[in-house]
Chain A
């Protein structure tokens, strides 16, 4: 079956507006504007089982349903294209090949939610994606598919780009809202959740690029079609997996939800690089736990991956081989999180550098038995922070202590890293 997201992609260039339209692009928008109420669109998304592709995997239809309909004043939609989660590059690949699915998806989402003005928040470094979007928005406006009186209707919708200046925490939805308002992007407290009080205190939906880019296909083909794309009954739709690390072809591929880990690595990526042996992988960006060889046949779907003790997350699969020291890999991840901590709350600001120090000590052969206990305490206590950055940081550490405790211990008893000569 044809998968919705990469369907329009050309090998080495961006698809043109005309090509996209010839292949059925903007038909969903026409369908919605000619015969579906905003509620119908929202219901289709709800029934499709679409879950947020930004990391948390929350039901998109349910998120939309939290927006109060009866409050006066504007509501907002923000597309999250901050994509700074290490190992994640799917939104970039999608937008460098096709900005139109996102533009059409956002227009449909605005229609469903009663939003007049939406934003796309784009990270620094994604200038090519931003240029594609800027051009696409102009083309859509000219064709009467965006802007004033879309398709001659009474609905008007504007899309604006906000180009950021680089900082991982801006991807956290409440920090993103502050960033968009031009305030220092520390997260806000939840509740109130953005759906009730977000951008400029108005009801706000924040969705990932991939999430919103799925909406046109759902509206065009219906919820049952979308559900049927998945290989397992619990799942729905396709997923972009962007693979890096020790595989032969490091690629960003669209596969049905429920594709097994082994099929991603062996099938889509041509297997392991240089005959190396699979040791572990992080399935969904830096904030997820390790999966191991026993998970080779695990269907990659939100529920099953969660049951296996990790998270599907962003779909950024980072593959490690037998030659990789996972203490050092975890140290690299923690170093990232410590640097990106926004400094707002003490456990994260002080705790992450401390964890980094301990892991550095262990990696350099100066670790002590007690260190493992101290690390475990941090895994526990860094769950109580102001936002999800620190708990995310603890996920790979938790995984390391759960699945590779022997490797950690070996560093301590041998007083050196067993992977260094």
Chain B
């Protein structure tokens, strides 16, 4: 169950949209922020708020890269593996992340802190290789910088 305040603000968001459905992505994102991922319960709640069936919400939820329909760590790491980052040797960075976190792609660290997911071009090609941690973008990555960022993000909940 979501708190009344969140429910009220989501209802307001839906009401301000030209059609309720247009607010679907915003509603899913807010619910995801609340639960940590888009739980089955969240799908049903989104459906009720939007006047859709849970299946219609599911159709949307499974389409977007940044909507998680499975449990994820506290912070999701999206590491770019597209072409400009490839030019900047992102393979090395991805390997380093795997080693450092002790997980494969898609995996979550044992302490539940990080989930590692590869992603498409982040629009940071000029600062490649790039990744984002819990939504915060980082560029010009080196293995040393990755260590620093992980340390900082771990302490900075």
Contact = CB atoms under 8 A, between A and B. Distances in A.
A250 B82 contact: no
A83 B87 contact: no
B142 interface: no
Contacts of B126: 89, 93, 242-244, 250-252
Interface string A266-300: 00000000000000001000100000000000000
Given A89-B125, A162-B22, A333-B83, A182 B60 contact: yes
Contact of A181 (B22, B88, B119): B22
Nearest to A85: B121
A125 B123 contact: yes
A89 B24 contact: no
Classify chain B: how many residues form its interface, as a range. Answer: 35 or more
B137 to A, nearest CB: 7
* Chain B CB within 10 A, most for which of A124, A318, A335: A124
Nearest to B23: A182
Given A182-B50, A185-B63, A200-B19, A123 B123 contact: yes
Contact of B123 (A84, A181, A184, A282): A84
A166 B83 contact: no
A329 B127 CA distance: 18
B121 to A, nearest CB: 4
A80 to B, nearest CB: 13
Contact of A184 (B23, B29, B60, B124): B60
Nearest to A342: B63
Nearest to B83: A86
Interface string A166-187: 1110000000000111111100
A322 interface: no
Interface in B93-129: 119-128
A21 interface: no
Interface residues of A, number: 55
Interface string B24-57: 1110110000000000000000000010000000
Nearest to B61: A165
A320 B131 CA distance: 22
Contacts of B18: 117, 200
A332 to B, nearest CB: 5
B83 A286 contact: yes
A165 B65 contact: yes
A92 B130 CA distance: 15
B125 A87 contact: yes
Contact of B19 (A85, A182, A324): A182
A250 B22 contact: no
B64 A166 contact: yes
Contacts of B66: 124, 165-166
A93 B132 CA distance: 17
Given A127-B135, A182-B50, A165 B25 contact: yes
Given A123-B123, A124-B65, A181 B82 contact: no
B67 interface: yes
Nearest to B25: A165
A110 to B, nearest CB: 15
A162 B65 CA distance: 16
A339 interface: yes
A163 B25 contact: yes
A194 interface: no
A84 B65 CA distance: 12
A88 B120 contact: no
Given A165-B28, A167-B64, A92 B123 contact: yes
A276 B124 CA distance: 23
Contact of B125 (A86, A91, A329): A86
Given A86-B84, A181-B19, A182-B50, A125 B122 contact: yes
* Chain A CB within 10 A, most for which of B23, B25, B83, B135: B83
A242 B86 contact: no
B124 A89 contact: yes
Nearest to A158: B18
B21 interface: yes
* Chain B CB within 10 A, most for which of A87, A125, A242, A335: A125
Contacts of B22: 162, 180-182
Interface of B: 18-26, 28-29, 50, 59-60, 63-67, 81-84, 86-88, 119-128, 132, 135, 137
Given A86-B82, A117-B18, 5 more contacts: A85-B121, A164-B25, A165-B29, A165-B66, A183-B21
15 contacts: A87-B82, A163-B26, A167-B63, A167-B64, A167-B65, A179-B25, A183-B60, A243-B126, A250-B128, A286-B83, A328-B86, A332-B86, A333-B83, A336-B82, A336-B121
Interface of A: 83-89, 91-93, 117, 123-127, 162-168, 179-185, 200, 242-246, 250-252, 282, 286, 316, 318-320, 324, 328-329, 332-333, 335-336, 339-340, 342
Interface pairs A-B: 4 shortest CB-CB: A182-B21, A166-B65, A165-B64, A244-B84
